[in-house]
Structure 1
Amino acid sequence: MKSVITGAVGQVEIVEVPRPVPGPADALVRVRACGICGTDGMFLHMGGIPFGPGGSMVPVALGHEPAGEIVEVGAEVDGLRVGDRVVVNPQGAPSGIIGCGGTLGGMSEYLLIENAVVGHSVAVFPDTVPFDVAALNEPMAVARHCVNRSEARPEDKVVVFGAGPIGLGAAIWLKLRGVRHVVVVDLIPERLATALAVGADAVIDSSREDVVARLTELHGPAANALGQPRPGTDIFIDAAGAAAVFTTVTAAAKWKAKLVMVAVQKKSPDIDLGAMLRSELTLIASQGYPTEIFEVTPELATHQDRFARLISHRVPFAEAPRAFELALTPGAAEKVIVTFPNG
């Protein structure tokens, strides 16, 4: 079968590898769609992962956002049958995280599900959901965990920095949670238009608007612990990872506001601890999806039209190198999904 791995720095290769043979406790999935993530870009920029002798780089089998259909089921597997459409928990593989340094990658024609257990390593989704939308399951679980960590209430006023897939996913989950006012901040007009299309109440173009002034206008006036004027924003979500976000939030946070950090930080800024003290700002880190990986699956199906708006490009597997180049070029795409033939 064909599989995508990291090649030279900044490049991928489509290689021939043996098609997996499932054991009695395993299942085999024919991959039908797989998303490209910023984590893939990290491996490309490094040219692999430093698992070789002396920390040398070795290729990485890419793809941790697959959706597909079951083509073989081991005799000991319960709850799965050939033809089921499934999404996968990349962190459920005993051989290592799928597409993130483990031996398996979801950007392949077939993917072995080791120790296939429904609800742990794999979940079935309805055949009414397109495979490309189902491939959003993993990143939407990341976004859902972020929102869960925020403990946002319906009466809260929230701002999301970054209108990439995670930020937009967070905006969707916030609105589905009943949060009354959600603002999305970005500097790419097309992404801000998508934010409004998926349900954000307002957007801010940080390249030409004063973010703090606009938040005060949208969320009303408030103050920090010293009575200094601040926007009435209750929760800030960092889905951008830019140093400017931390700087903006610490300067703008009102008394007892929260900052939820879900983005991989591109560069850690000097944090104004005094400003955090003056607002009693709570910093909450959000990593992965401890419980959310399949919590989101039925809701993804129910609200599939809304989530489908996050996909900007669908690229055939035969053109995978172009798909990765597109996904990793700043501003060129929102969410790229690689699609596979029926086989």
Structure 2
Amino acid sequence: MKAVALTKIGKLEMIEKEKPQPKEGEVLVQIKAAGICGSDIPRVFVNGAYHFPTVLGHEFSGKIVETGKNVDSKMLGSRVAVFPLLPCHKCKYCVAGHFVQCENYHYFGSRNDGAFEEYLAVPTFNLLPISDNISYEEAAMIEPATVAQHAIQKAHLRLGDNVVVYGAGPIGMMAARWAKINGANEVILFDIDKEKIALAKSLGFDHILYNRGNENSAAIQEIFNGELADVAVEATGNTHSFNDCVNSIRKFGKVIMLGNPHSEMTLDQSVYDQCMRKEGEILSVYNSVFKGYPIDEWKVTERAVSSGRLKINDLITQKVSIDNLIELFETIHDHKEVSCKAMMVNK
């Protein structure tokens, strides 16, 4: 079967692999759609993988075409999204249902080969059945959509709260949409990329502003009737946005750390001082809740997409076959096209 593997930093190659055989408790998933995550770009071109070669791809969906031992054959033909983290099921965090805090986990698309190939063997535990009215492309976005949802869940929004989100990438835009679903009054998106701002405006976001740093507070107060934000979501992994988030919250407001950091994350002394004076909260999030405590956030996302409450398909800007996936990575890396969510789609 075909697979796109990272063979060294900056080098993706099309390779041939043996089609995997599902083991006991596993199914064989024919990959139908797999998204390129923002973290995949630095993994390919800067940071590298845990080992080489590695097949990336952790946002994916597909069809069950084979079952392993002790797996109900009725699962054949089922359409599924896949939770990419592979917990050990033995450590104290797994036993407590906090699977993303597993002390001995593996991960599709980083520690294990992922979905940028034609077939993948997946444990039944990691499967999320999807409704018939959800496309495979939408199902592949359940993973990043649930990461965004987890950030808003952590914020414990109250009806009427005002929210700012720094970063108008797919995660940031989905966080903004989740905030509205969860009762936010007004939501402002900030970014420094004018093309992203234009895309967000075309998608109907009410308030999408250029990030002007120290000038943001005045713009926020103008939209929020003289108040600063109840919640600020940092969805860029950038130290400047981190400082901007802290400056954007009201007294007793919250900052949610969502973005993957690309460099050192620090708070300026004056910003740190203001956070203390405000008694602001800085909360971190990692991944999402799957089949665990307190809710199964993946099911929440699936229902929200199926019902139409959460729109995500309009964030998909590129779709290619596996044969054109390497070229798509290079296009995104070289900023040749405006990209929000780019995706490999197999027939």
TM over 0.5: yes
Return the alpha-carbon distance in structure 1 between the equivalents of residues 191 and 73 of structure 2. Answer: 43
- Maintained 8 Å contact 1:84/1:124: yes
Q: Gaps (5+ residues) in structure 2? A: 89-104, 291-296
Residue 250 of structure 1: how far off its partner (Å): 2.9
Q: Is the 8 A contact 1:9 1:47 kept in 2?
A: yes
Check whether the contact 2:232–2:248 (CA below 8 A) recurs between aligned residues: no
SS in 2 for 1:30: strand
Percent identity, please: 27
Q: How does 1:283-298 map to 2 (within 5 A)?
A: 283-291=282-290, 292-298=297-303
**In 1, distance between residues paired with 2:208 and 2:171?**
16
What is the letter of the counterpart of residue 125 of structure 1? Answer: I
CA shift in 2, pair 1:337/1:126, >3 Å: same
**Given the alignment of the two structures, is residue 74 of structure 1 paired with residue 80 of structure 2, yes or no?**
no
Distance 2:308 2:196 in 1: 19
Please state how far the C-alpha of 1:337 moved relative to its aligned partner: 0.7
How do 1:158-169 residues align onto structure 2 when only pairs under 5 Å count?
158-169=163-174
CA distance in 2, matches of 1:317, 1:191: 26
Matched, 1:254 2:250: yes
Cα distance in 2 for partners of 1:3, 1:33 equals 13
Report deviation, 1:170.
0.4
Q: Could you say if the C-alpha distance between residues 199 and 145 of structure 1 is closer, same or farther in structure 2, counting changes exceeding 3 Å? A: farther
Task: Please name the residue that 1:280 is paired with.
Answer: 279
CA contact (8 A) 1:157 1:234 kept: yes
1:101 paired with 2:97, answer: no
Summarize the Cα distance change of 1:269–1:92 in structure 2 as closer, same or farther, 3 Å threshold: closer
- Once the 2 structures are TM-superposed, how far is the Cα of residue 59 of structure 1 from its aligned partner? 2.6
1:138 maps onto 2:143 in alignment:
yes
In the TM superposition, residue 187 of structure 1 has moved relative to its aligned partner by 2.7
- CA distance in 2: counterparts of 1:316 and 1:146, whole angstroms: 32
2:153 partner amino acid: N
Question: Partner amino acid for 1:258?
Answer: K
Q: Secondary structure at the match of 2:245?
A: helix
> Equivalent residue for 2:121?
112
Give the aligned CA root-mean-square deviation in angstroms: 2.3
Give the length in aligned residue pairs: 321
User: Residues 108 and 33 (structure 1 numbering): CA distance in 2 closer, same or farther, change over 3 Å?
Assistant: same
Q: Which residue of 2 aligns with 1:4?
A: 4
Higher helix fraction: Structure 1 or Structure 2? 2
- Give the match for residue 91 of structure 1: 85
Tell me how far 1:203 sits from its aligned partner.
1.5
**Per-residue deviation at 1:131?**
1.2
Per the alignment, residue 203 of structure 1 pairs with 208
Residue by residue over 1:194-251, the C-alpha shift from the partner in whole angstroms, topping out at 9 and shown as x without a partner, is: 4356564312122699322110101132xxxxxxxxx421110011122211222333
CA distance 1:219–1:304, shift in 2 (3 Å): closer
Mapped to 2, the partners of 1:80 and 1:209 lie a distance apart of 58
Task: Output the amino acid matched with 1:68.
Answer: G
Q: Distance in 2 between matches of 1:195 and 1:79?
A: 44
Counterpart for residue 94 of structure 2: none
Are the counterparts in 2 of residues 12 and 321 from structure 1 also a CA contact under 8 Å? yes
Q: Is 259-268 or 4-13 further displaced after alignment?
A: 4-13
SS in 2 for 1:133: helix
* Aligned amino acid, residue 66 of structure 1: F
Distance 2:243 2:23 in 1: 52
Tell whether the 8 Å contact from 1:3 to 1:107 is kept in structure 2 after alignment. yes
Question: Would you say the 8 A contact 1:312–1:334 is kept in 2?
Answer: yes
Segments of 5+ residues of structure 1 without an aligned counterpart are 52-57, 222-230
Question: How far apart in 2 are the matches of 1:315 and 1:257?
Answer: 42
Deviates more, 1:319-328 or 1:72-81: 72-81
Q: Distance in 2 between matches of 1:139 and 1:65?
A: 7
Q: Is the 8 A contact 2:304 2:310 kept in 1?
A: no
Q: Scaled by the length of structure 1, what TM-score is found?
A: 0.86
Distance change (3 Å), C-alpha of 1:209 and 1:131: farther
1:45 shift after superposition: 2.8
Q: Is the 8 A contact 2:203 2:314 kept in 1?
A: yes
Letter aligned with residue 71 of structure 2: V
Q: Does structure 2 retain, via aligned residues, the 8 Å contact 1:27–1:113?
A: yes
Query: Contact (CA 8 Å) 1:327, 1:334: kept in 2 or not?
Result: no
Mapped to 2, the partners of 1:74 and 1:132 lie a distance apart of 26
When residues 244 and 47 of structure 1 are mapped into structure 2, their CA distance, relative to the original with a 3 A threshold, is closer
Paired residue secondary structure (1:215): helix
- The 8 Å contact of residues 232 and 246 in structure 2, kept in 1 or not, is answered as no
Matched, 1:124 2:129: yes
Aligned to 1:54: none
SS in 1 for 2:229: coil
Cα distance, 1:130–1:270 mapped onto 2, change above 3 Å: closer
Q: Which amino acid aligns with 2:30?
A: R
- Structure 1 segments, 4+ long, off by >4 Å, are 196-199
Query: Quick one: distance in 2 between partners of 1:192 and 1:286?
Result: 25
Mapped to 1, the partners of 2:235 and 2:213 lie a distance apart of 20
Task: Supply the distance in 1 between the matched residues of 2:50 and 2:140 (Cα, whole angstroms).
Answer: 28
Q: Distance in 2 between the 1:2 and 1:93 partners? A: 27
